[in-house]
Structure 1
Amino acid sequence: MTTQDITQRKAWVIAARPQTLPAAASPVVVGTGLAVHDGVFAIFPAIAALVGAGLIQIGTNFANDYYDAVQGADTEDREGFTRVTAGGLIAPETVKRAMYLTFAAAILLGTYLVSVGGVPIVIIGLLSVASGIAYTGGPYPLGYHGLGDLFVFVFFGLVAVAGTYYVQAAAVLAGPFPVGIPPETVPVAAVVAALPIAALSTDILVVNNVRDKEEDATTGKRTLAVRFGYRFARAQFVALLVLAYAVPVWFLLRSGYSVAVSLPYLTLPYAVAVTRTMLTETAGEVLNPALERTGRLLAGYAVLFAVGLAPTNLPL
């Protein structure tokens, strides 16, 4: 299909990049699974966190599409998925407007979460939106200076999982609009449970950066793959997988968790298959499917991990 054959509706779907939404939903799923286990599950904060995470992901996708185009990072040699701004499918100002409207919707929804979670959610929400824009925009784009991996690890992993748990625990254990972080609303387990999601979400970016390494090097986008080469990026990918699959052992060694927390190991064969591709390939036609498979790996791991964490306080 050529760009001339793409309708406006299809172009907006491409810009939103629905294949990236597992990175938004997965931390909410895991944070909610742990909340069920600990008896602090709250349905409305959980739903709001899920929708808010999706809006921030889509807003970030619009920002990437717009800023990469206007800064010249998307060229005709691009091997990734179609970009609507650089491809002339949607006017740059229209994509920029959609970015701001999407982030505004996330902030509007966030007012409910602020009423539950108070000042900590104000800080997290504003930082998440600002970082989503700063990933490829602003005076110091994070993704252009090798900081994209850290951004994803922190905001789509640690903050997203622990934040999802926090808003539910705050709704159950604290009064409205807490100023600080109430006791027992961010346990160590919530931070540890976030690590696999942080690792696998970052691995999605690592695949993307390996695929785009040669083009990024010519357009001045200094990702870690560009700075340190293919070998480093592949070692990073494997190291993050090792971290993800080490975490269930931490829970198995603690009382209160059943052997069900080992369910994510069912995804290991799939992870191995994706890793084989990452260790041997650089071409876009091979790594584009690997990128989608890494997203599916994240989603599958998250669902199984959440199911494994939840059983203790589920009704039998």
Structure 2
Amino acid sequence: MATVGQWVQGARVRTLPNSVAPVLVGAGAAAALDAFVWWQSLLALVVALALQVGVNYANDYSDGIRGTDERRVGPLRLVGSGVATPVSVRAAAFGCFGVAAVAGLVLVAATGRWWLLAVGAGCVLAAWYYTGGRRPYGYAGWGEAAVFLFFGPVAVLGTLYVQSGRISWAGMAGAVATGAFSAAVLVANNLRDMPTDRVAGKITLAVRLGERRTRILYCALVAVPFAISLAAAPGNPWLLAALLAVLPVLPAARRVAGGATGPELIPVLRDTALAMLLWAVTTAPALAFG
């Protein structure tokens, strides 16, 4: 039986900025349109967090039963390490998806935007089939594209639209920025796991691109949010506050560009997620009050 602490490790709490950041940016974009509703933003956050933890458990389950996690570095794998049964981890994933579904249903029912149920169903399916099913797209190099889509446009614009009923240029720019940050986290993760993924037959984008081009891709992705902040600053100088996120991302970029491998890349995931959260925390109020 896994302990509570091991279940928490398996949930990969350090990945949660991927869920929090886009909701913050979407809420800020809604406030810029005078459409912010705190409880709707809170429900959107519950949906995002539940989906994030659910996909983390789902990946643990699917990678574990395939044997992909047998030689992994990084956080504890519940199934791969044998501390939890595959059935229990799968149940935890489905339980999280259930929480997300209930929160999403309440949000949609309260706002009357029923077509968003289809978006929510797509999110759950994408979360499961990332590493689940017979042909998981995460094993074919499409993980980063999916992460960009669901943690960028879907999360940011979904949070914005459910409150305002419209999409703004600020929301779209924020969606691209958070999507780039989230994809960069996965790029760093897959760069770290490239040797074991290749052996296990998990053909991630990093495996397809090779080490050098994967490192270039990471640096390009983390540069995108700052380019967006600078481009938008003439119309709203408060957005320059987001440049503070350079502080945690610079050491991460140096590690990646400097050739760090294996466990040396673990801090890169942490620092990239921290930079994403800091970017969102500074950008959201700038959008709301700028």
Task: State the TM-score, normalized to the length of structure 2.
Answer: 0.96
Name the counterpart of 2:29: 34
Whole-angstrom CA distance in 1 between matches of 2:234 and 2:238: 12
2:84 equivalent in structure 1: 90
Match of 1:181 in 2: none
| 1:234 paired to 2:241 | no
Where structure 1 has 5 or more consecutive residues not aligned to the other structure, the ranges are: 1-5, 171-184
The yes-or-no answer on 1:311 pairing with 2:278 is no
Structure having the higher Rg: 1
Distance in 2 (alpha carbons) for counterparts of 1:79 and 1:299: 24
2:267 alignment partner in structure 1:
289
Query: Which of 144, 148, 151 is the aligned partner of 1:153?
Result: 148
Conservation of the 8 A alpha-carbon contact between 1:144 and 1:222: yes
Q: Which residue of 2 aligns with 1:21?
A: 16
Specify the code of the residue in structure 2 equivalent to 1:97: A
Q: How does 1:1-316 map to 2 (within 5 A)?
A: 8-75=3-70, 77-115=71-109, 116-170=111-165, 185-254=166-235, 258-312=236-290
- Cα distance in 2, alignment partners of residues 250 and 263 from structure 1: 13
Q: Give per-residue Cα distances to partners, 1:46-68, cap 9 Å, x unaligned.
A: 00000110000000001000000
CA distance in 1, matches of 2:221, 2:268: 16
* TM-score normalized by the length of structure 1: 0.88
Give the SS at the match of 2:81: coil
Asked if 2 retains the 8 angstrom alpha-carbon contact of 1:210 and 1:282, the reply is: no
Post-superposition offset of 1:101: 1.3
Q: CA offsets per residue over residues 217-267 of structure 1, 9 Å max, x none?
A: 00000011111111111111111122211112342344xxx2101111122
C-alpha separation between the residues in 2 aligned to 1:84 and 1:265? Answer: 37
Whole-Å Cα distance in 1 between the matches of residues 56 and 96 of structure 2? 10
Question: Match for 2:49: what amino acid?
Answer: G
Cα displacement (A) at 1:161 = 0.4
Q: What is the total number of aligned residue pairs between the two structures?
A: 289
Alignment partners' CA distance in 1, 2:160 and 2:231? 18
Deviates more, 1:16-25 or 1:117-126: 117-126
Q: Aligned partners of 2:3, 2:174: CA distance in 1, in Å?
A: 40
Q: Does structure 1 conserve the Cα–Cα contact (< 8 Å) formed by 2:252 and 2:267?
A: no
RMSD: 1.4
Is contact 1:20-1:295 (8 Å) kept?
yes
Q: Distance in 2 between matches of 1:100 and 1:7?
A: 18
Aligned amino acid, residue 251 of structure 2: A
Give aligned-pair identity as a percent.
35
Cα distance in 1 for partners of 2:106, 2:151 equals 20
Contact 1:34–1:309 (8 Å) recurs in 2: yes
